[in-house]
Amino acid sequence: MDAQLKKELGTSTLRSTGYSAAGFISEGQSYDTDNGRVFVKINHKSQAKLMFDGEQASLEAILMTGTVKVPKPLKVIELDTGGSAFVMEHIDMTGLSKHSKQLGKCLADLHLHNQRQRDRQNKDQQTVGKGADVPVIEQFGFHVPTCCGYLPQENEWQSEWVTFYSRNKLQHQLNMVEKSYGDREARELWAQLQLKIPSLFTDVEVFPALLHGDLWGGNVAECSDGPLIFDPASFYGHAEFDLGIAGIFGSVLGRCSNPRTPQQNKRRATESPRRRVVAAESSGGEQARGGGWWNWVGHDGPGGRFCRDLRSSPGYQRQPQGPDRNGASHPPPPPPPHGRGRLSGRGWSRLRPLGFSGYRVTTG
């Protein structure tokens, strides 16, 4: 494999740095080359090229926004021994800690980039001699297939978010479940659920946001320049999709519950009140994630540090509490002492747009 890598990279030097990594899916190794240090992900499965091609396109799309740091992709190589290798920029990284607050702002910038580009181009069209230089994406999907793990994602373009979410995301997953397990009950429940999905987005305007697509805690880190994200499976969709994944495994924004946009909060809450942390993306954007209080969110864990960083950011404030499902109102609790305890509350949080500073925590 080393000989093939040398040929593909056009280097006479290919010296292992001794740094290696192994994930759930692929293994990795850093090398010094004539052109600098690179990181090479290797996977020997037959579907590796499809997976790496999608990851390369995702990194390129995020890189073009200039909103959040990602490794610069270089080349996908089909290996003579089977499988593929993905060569990218090497970055010395550690676990997310002191730059967690900055990551919140970077993610908000990423999610708002396409919308801001549209607003900028609409303004430029009113000026003689100015025209669009970067296309605005007005549909939901992506131009190539991507993968979460080995699972290919259906990214065919759709004009409506509800259609994309129902058909390309949920229906696609249910089809795989039925094919692999023949779960008849799941199919019957899905037939009932899909009829109700449009009502969940009544009066909610969703403009396509470029997403990471697999934003769990294992795919975020920090380096000397600040926070970074990697291993994406991007598509254009609802920003809260990223934030939903961010809550899995108690990671990134903490174990999450009750993701809601300001528009969705106009509807009557139909879930039971529960303790949660809610983060809001400002500038009239989406509500981010919240909730949970396992060790990750506890004051000794990285999630606790993340929540405290967010809580200390400009614009942090508690929102008025709405009624629970029984019509009873609950006053918001005072914030816990800085650096201690958990951010928690009772009742429904009603959000309003706040001045832009990324994702911020508010009790609810």
How does pLDDT run across 285-339, given as a tens digit for each residue? 222 233 322 222 223 333 333 333 433 444 333 333 344 434 444 444 444 333 3
Give the span between the Cα atoms of 112 and 144, in whole angstroms. Answer: 22
More confident residue, 341 or 252: 252
Please answer whether residues 15 and 32 qualify as being in contact, where contact means their C-beta atoms are separated by less than 8 angstroms.
yes
What is the domain partition of the chain in residue ranges?
A: 2-89, 100-128+208-363, 139-206
- ∠ CA(143), CA(144), CA(146), 5° rounding? 130
* pTM (predicted TM-score): 0.71
State residue 177's pLDDT score: 87
State residue 253's pLDDT score: 58
Average pLDDT in the chain:
74
**Which range (34-38, 103-107, 248-252) has the least confidence?**
248-252
Please answer whether residues 1 and 81 qualify as being in contact, where contact means their C-beta atoms are separated by less than 8 angstroms.
yes
CATH architecture for residues 2-89: 2-Layer Sandwich (3.30)
> Residue 128: pLDDT band by 50, 70, 90 thresholds?
low
Residue 21 belongs to what H/E stretch? strand 14-22
Catalytic residues: 214
- ∠ CA(91), CA(93), CA(96), 5° rounding? 140
Pick left, alpha or beta for residue 310 (phi over 0 → left; psi -120 to 50 → alpha; otherwise beta).
Answer: alpha
Please answer whether residues 62 and 70 qualify as being in contact, where contact means their C-beta atoms are separated by less than 8 angstroms.
yes
Give the span between the Cα atoms of 330 and 324, in whole angstroms. Answer: 8
Residue with tokens 């960083």: 309
Q: Is the pLDDT of residue 158 over 60?
A: yes
Give the span between the Cα atoms of 109 and 299, in whole angstroms. Answer: 27
**H-type alpha helices, the chain:** 2-9, 48-65, 100-124, 161-163, 172-181, 184-200, 239-245, 302-311
Tokens of 239: 């920003």
Give the span between the Cα atoms of 208 and 123, in whole angstroms. Answer: 19
> Residue 181: pLDDT band by 50, 70, 90 thresholds?
confident
> Residue 348: pLDDT band by 50, 70, 90 thresholds?
very low
